Amino acid sequence: VSRVYLNGEFLAREDARLSIDDRGFLFGDGVYEVSRAVRGRLFEDDAHWDRLSRGLREIAISVADQLDAHRLREISLRLLDENDLTGTDATIYLQITRGAALRTHWFPPAQTAPTIFASARAFEIPRTLRETGASAITHPDVRWLRCDIKSVNLLPNVLAKQRAHEVGAFEAVLIRDGTVTEGASANLFGVVDGELRTHPLSNHILPGITRKVLFELAEELEIPIVERPIRAEELPRLQELFATGTTTDVQPLVALDGRPVGDGRPGPIGIKLRKALEIRMGTG
Amino acid sequence: VSRVYLNGEFLAREDARLSIDDRGFLFGDGVYEVSRAVRGRLFEDDAHWDRLSRGLREIAISVADQLDAHRLREISLRLLDENDLTGTDATIYLQITRGAALRTHWFPPAQTAPTIFASARAFEIPRTLRETGASAITHPDVRWLRCDIKSVNLLPNVLAKQRAHEVGAFEAVLIRDGTVTEGASANLFGVVDGELRTHPLSNHILPGITRKVLFELAEELEIPIVERPIRAEELPRLQELFATGTTTDVQPLVALDGRPVGDGRPGPIGIKLRKALEIRMGTG
């Protein structure tokens, strides 16, 4: 049975129960992170902590007494250990909400303890899919205007991902005002006219940790990245397209809305970055 | 102690616990309703059921085996009874999520049971506030583009309401692309140049039940309502402004961003509609 962390305790998953007054349940009033561990080593945990801290600040949830980077590291490592995940690939899920309180749209009393939940799970890298590429569909981006906050207000993402899933596609390419923002659960990079492009950091996309690592790797590899959104009308000219994220790594997208991207096979820039990422993570 | 309904059972509130894998908690993947009861009579319960059913359809959650209008009525009346609320004003909260399952953005397996939660609470009408009027602030509308679905993706509403709360205001008047959409937790009506205006039904506002009732009452009272958004630049010319909703009734807003609305007192159209609503509800 899986062991999870909830508000200071390590428990069997089925014993970790929430109040029906939890603001995560009632309002989606919280943030989360999914991070990666490779054979017991946490990958980019400082970057995940920084993003989490920023999100908590943005929505004014304080965990000062309960959690800091050091404590989160301890919790993560113990979850890996208790779930026999120290020898394999794993993901760690962390969610923090504003806690349980009498339902009001405004914040509950200051003494309300946040809910802190973490769990770990084995992760099997879909190596064949990474090699052969996956398909994607385009979908309207109807999300809120603070997509830079990794909140659990994920219903539009769920609906877009489900639409992709129904047609056997891996990801939905979200389009807002005629430009590609990101995927339903990943950032996107594309090659147009030989230029590697991705949406600049803004309120319209999540500042992905894998995205950040790819910028570092691209610099080492002397691959220039242009932070300019891909426009919908440029999609037919895409030479490469790939999704990036903590569980997505670098996932080539070789078909879009049923038409091949480029020559319909993973392109050289994506392959180069995927391999560099595998070396960095130690998953190659 | 309060008694609530959860997945077929009536329980003490503290015994009603959720799985940490509930998609309401993880994704805000659900819809809700707040309805009103007056001395044991449900108000507009058919309209609430219709809106709920539509929302469930829109996000493809099926409760066919667990809930219908008749069963919801039974649950609601029993909650009123078990909580000694049959002689007073009360609200009934209902939330339905896609249930608990292994976390994936796409939908869980079809056999996953939805989570159905309902509770009732005494409601004290803030009569003084209804008489004297309340204040409001303007705030950017950063919500998603399906505000017609009453989902629990409410973080932007929470943040806007908190901002209002911090400055002692009752409501945030949300503005998108230069036009007033609605409040953080209520629809809005305003009088400009003698004309009663409200945002037309669209993906940008919730189809409020009180809003619907007010259209019926306005027709009886021969007060024309123009469904055209109020533009931000018209706000200084507002003669009246009021918020409407299940727990808001008709709440005059007599100050906006610290400046009086009209002469700073509740206006005649709002008063007339508030009184007609009280008669209809039986709360007068």
DSSP string, A36-99: EEETTEEESHHHHHHHHHHHHHHTT---TTT--HHHHHHHHHHHHHHTT-TTSEEEEEEEEE--
- Interface membership of A184 toward B (CB under 8 Å): yes
Q: CB distance A184–B105 less than 8 Å?
A: yes
- Interface membership of B13 toward A (CB under 8 Å): yes
Dump pLDDT digits (tens) for A14-72.
Answer: 999 999 999 999 999 999 999 999 999 999 999 999 999 999 999 999 999 899 999 99
- Which residues of chain A are modeled with pLDDT < 70? none
For residues B69-90, average pLDDT: 98
CA distance B88 to B73: 18
Name the average pLDDT for chain B. 98
Nearest to B25 among A25, A103, A151 (CB): A25
Q: How far is B122 from chain A (nearest CA, A)?
A: 13
DSSP helix/strand/coil, B63: coil
Nearest to A143 among B32, B106, B144 (CB): B144
Alpha carbon of residue A280 to chain centroid: 18
Nearest to A155 among B29, B164, B184 (CB): B29
Half-sphere exposure of B109 (CA within 13 A, CB side): 4
User: Is B275 a residue whose pLDDT tops 90?
Assistant: yes
**Is-contact B37 B76, C-beta < 8 A?**
yes
- Interface membership of A152 toward B (CB under 8 Å): yes
Q: CB distance B16–A20 less than 8 Å?
A: yes
DSSP helix/strand/coil, B124: coil
- Interface membership of A157 toward B (CB under 8 Å): yes
From chain A, the residues in CB contact with B107 under 8 A are 158, 162, 165
- Among residues A117, A135, A106, which one has the least CA distance to residue A27? A106
Among residues 19-38 of chain B, which lie with CB inside 8 Å of chain A? 19-29, 32
User: Is B65 a residue whose pLDDT tops 90?
Assistant: no
Q: CB distance B27–A151 less than 8 Å?
A: no
Q: How far is B193 from chain A (nearest CA, A)?
A: 33
- Interface membership of A10 toward B (CB under 8 Å): no
From chain A, the residues in CB contact with B24 under 8 A are 24-25
User: Is B37 a residue whose pLDDT tops 90?
Assistant: yes
- Interface membership of A151 toward B (CB under 8 Å): yes
- Among residues B81, B72, B2, which one has the least CA distance to residue B35? B72
From chain B, the residues in CB contact with A142 under 8 A are 144-146
- Interface membership of A156 toward B (CB under 8 Å): yes
A169 → chain B, closest CA residue:
B106
Residue B282 confidence (pLDDT): 96
Dump pLDDT digits (tens) for B133-162.
Answer: 999 999 999 999 999 999 999 999 999 999
CA distance B271 to B223: 12
CA distance B187 to B190: 10
Q: Residues of A with catalytic annotation?
A: 150
Q: What is the DSSP string of B149-209?
A: S-BS--HHHHHHHHHHHHTT-SEEEEEETTEEEEESSSEEEEEETTEEEEPPSSTTS---H
Distances (CA, A) of B227 to A252, B182, B188, B211, B214: 47, 13, 11, 11, 13
For residues B220-224, average pLDDT: 98
**What are the backbone angles phi and psi of residue B223, rounded to the nearest 5°?**
-105, 110
B161 → chain A, closest CA residue:
A106
- Interface membership of A122 toward B (CB under 8 Å): no
- Interface membership of B1 toward A (CB under 8 Å): no
Residue B59 confidence (pLDDT): 98
Q: CB distance B117–A151 less than 8 Å?
A: no
Alpha carbon of residue B110 to chain centroid: 30
Distances (CA, A) of B64 to A11, A214, B67, B113: 34, 47, 6, 11
Query: pLDDT band at B231, cuts 50/70/90?
Result: very high
A168 → chain B, closest CA residue:
B106
- Interface membership of A168 toward B (CB under 8 Å): no
Residue B1 confidence (pLDDT): 80
**Is-contact A179 A229, C-beta < 8 A?**
yes
pTM: 0.98
Q: Residues of B with catalytic annotation?
A: 150
Q: CB distance A17–B20 less than 8 Å?
A: yes
Among residues 83-112 of chain B, which lie with CB inside 8 Å of chain A? 93, 95, 97, 103-107
- Interface membership of A4 toward B (CB under 8 Å): yes
Residue B174 confidence (pLDDT): 98
User: Is B88 a residue whose pLDDT tops 90?
Assistant: yes
Could you give the angle at the alpha carbon of A174 between the alpha carbons of B201 and A53, nearest 5°?
A: 95
Query: pLDDT band at B129, cuts 50/70/90?
Result: very high
User: Is B278 a residue whose pLDDT tops 90?
Assistant: yes
- Among residues B38, B34, B35, which one has the least CA distance to residue B87? B38
User: Is B56 a residue whose pLDDT tops 90?
Assistant: yes
Q: CB distance B107–A165 less than 8 Å?
A: yes
CA distance A248 to A164: 15
From chain A, the residues in CB contact with B103 under 8 A are 93
